[in-house]
Amino acid sequence: MAQAKINAKMNDATKNKFTRTMSMADRSGRLLESLDQIEMRVEALREEASAMEQERECLIEMIQSIQNSQEMRSICDGEREELSLTAARLMGRTLTVKVSLETIRNQQQEEALQKAMKMIDEITEKLLEDLQSARTRLEALHAACVSDAPPVPVDQKFQSVVISCALEDQKKIKRRLETLIRNMDNAEKTIQIMDNPKVDLSKLANGK
């Protein structure tokens, strides 16, 4: 009889332990599921912040393009002043938007980013010396950032540096190069119009 009671108590203890273990497993599973959902929301938040950051850069570029456009130079002083004030107001409001999206990097990625930016800066510093040469070099850097076969030679050295950067930094480097090349396109068009004002303006008047 005594042995039977002992066995019953042991069975109850085992049962209670098993129940507690299952309960802990359930709680752990629920917590893990909650963390998985939070992770998805965190990534969505970062993507939205990145999109806002890109939109801010795009707006700044568009305003600057209008401010420096040939069309702005070809209108009368009164209209130019009014449009310049509007553009300056919009620029000021755009700059009040602060988007901070930090990229988590290890030491190697940090060094690679600094090296990549330095290589771009070295080219932009010499833009005024030789615009066409600078454009060719920037296109070679941009070619190193795309997966499709580019129509221009790839800067292999820059490509090896970019590959060592964090993925988010790779995207930012590519966007910066695209912005620089677009700005150079606009600058070249402006220079052409200023060099040949009569010819280019007549073509524009004829819709060519």
User: How do residues 95-111 score in pLDDT, each as one tens digit?
Assistant: 999 988 888 899 999 99
Question: How far is 11 from 16, CA to CA, in rounded Å?
Answer: 9
pTM of the entire predicted model: 0.63
Q: Which fold has domain 104-196?
A: Methane Monooxygenase Hydroxylase; Chain G, domain 1 (1.20.58)
What would you report as the CA-atom Rg of the chain, rounded to the nearest whole angstrom? 30
What mean pLDDT is reported for the chain? 81
Could you tell me if 109 and 164 are in contact, meaning their C-beta atoms sit under 8 angstroms apart? yes
Q: What is the DSSP string of 103-117?
A: PP--HHHHHHHHHHH
- The first and second tokens of residue 138, run together, are 């920037």
- The first and second tokens of residue 201, run together, are 């303006």
| 175 pLDDT more than 50 | yes
Question: How far is 34 from 21, CA to CA, in rounded Å?
Answer: 20
Question: How far is 162 from 145, CA to CA, in rounded Å?
Answer: 7
3-state secondary structure 174-185: HHHHHHHHHHHH
